[in-house]
Chain A
């Protein structure tokens, strides 16, 4: 940060945008912005960000809402090629490169059962955020659910659906106790193929046959009423 004393911080701009500044302070900011292109640009950027984000905010936590539209939006992004190792087992293949962040489109409601993916690259770990992944990236999974649930994790690759968790010999969804960021016994390492694919977490109130869920995800038909699905797209690029 190397602004002059006269330049204003984001704190002041946020106070201005939320009408928390005194009239004098607001006048002072406006006067400064009129003669400082840098502050004028920041003010415009923060104002635009505030306006555009406000309409896209997820529901206030604690309010019950029906399934959000993004689930369907992301669902149509499935069908991309993937190649991963699961434990020691090779699953896929690939081609095509698609990138881009879903950002607010991937908004989830707190309290709704969901997966979280963690990516390790060069021994640094961060939560997966829709960014483009590459061969060698390792992915670990956790889930969060406010109630006991039954979970299965699938890979969807160009319409081909493979259950990643639970592994055989399990033939039904795995019991998953309530908790936040609970580790799933599953890790994958991406290979070098350039492709996209989707991970789908299915949470059910009761045990469900993996074969049934696989068929549902393959055909695009409706899940059992006690189940909900979270689609997470993994854009992938070569090294």
Chain B
């Protein structure tokens, strides 16, 4: 295992779930595609972490979540790009789904890394505390504590 051909097989097998999760987290097909391409471009350069993982699915869940959170942070930084422009933006309501998603993103960005990951695993992927503990490499009690501290908001719960 380790050839380009092997990576191609993994890409075809696991790419759909990476794309689906990135789409669910980011709410953007374009950004989801970027996440998929970025991840596998990295594995093409250094396939060891992927190939050494005990669970390929679990490893890709971790990597996708991490990459998506980075994308959210980078996208937020784009505000500065737009604010530098003389755009005359009129106030306008978002549709309900986009509003909820934007709120969920804002909440995720306010959380520390572990809490944000736990929130995604719980609300987007529907994982149990035990499964989250496995991916975060921590105890179930710690997961319970992380989730208990999450803001009580419908935005995250409806993010799935």
Enumerate chain A interface residues (CB-CB to B < 8 A): 1, 3, 5, 7, 9-12, 14-15, 17-18, 20, 46, 49-51, 53-54, 57-58, 60-63, 85, 87-88, 101-104, 106-111, 116, 118, 120-130, 134-138, 140, 142, 181, 183, 187-189, 239
Give the residue among B20, B31, B81, B124 with the most A Cβ atoms within 10 A: B81
Min distance, Cβ A147 to any Cβ of chain B, angstroms:
16
Chain A residues whose C-beta falls within 8 Å of the C-beta of B126 in the assembled complex? 1, 3, 7, 9-10
Q: Could you tell me if A58 and B91 are in contact, using CB atoms closer than 8 angstroms?
A: no
Q: Could you tell me if B85 and A187 are in contact, using CB atoms closer than 8 angstroms?
A: yes
Answer whether A20 and B57 are a contact pair too, CB < 8 Å, given A61-B41, A61-B44, A110-B41: yes
- Count of inter-chain pairs, beta carbons less than 8 A: 175
Chain B residues whose C-beta falls within 8 Å of the C-beta of A109 in the assembled complex? 37
Q: Report the Cα distance A88→B85, complex, angstroms.
A: 11
A-B contact pairs, 20 of them (CB 8 A): A10-B17, A11-B57, A12-B131, A20-B56, A49-B20, A58-B36, A58-B37, A118-B82, A121-B92, A124-B102, A125-B75, A125-B81, A127-B28, A127-B75, A138-B82, A138-B87, A181-B74, A187-B86, A187-B87, A189-B87
Q: Report the Cα distance A89→B102, complex, angstroms.
A: 31
Tell me which of A53, A140, A239 contacts B20 (CB under 8 A). Answer: A53
Q: Could you tell me if A122 and B79 are in contact, using CB atoms closer than 8 angstroms?
A: no
Enumerate chain B interface residues (CB-CB to A < 8 A): 4, 7-8, 11-17, 19-21, 27-31, 33-34, 36-38, 40-41, 44-45, 55-58, 61, 74-76, 78-79, 81-82, 85-94, 102, 121-128, 131, 135, 157, 160
Residue of A nearest to B38 (CB): A110
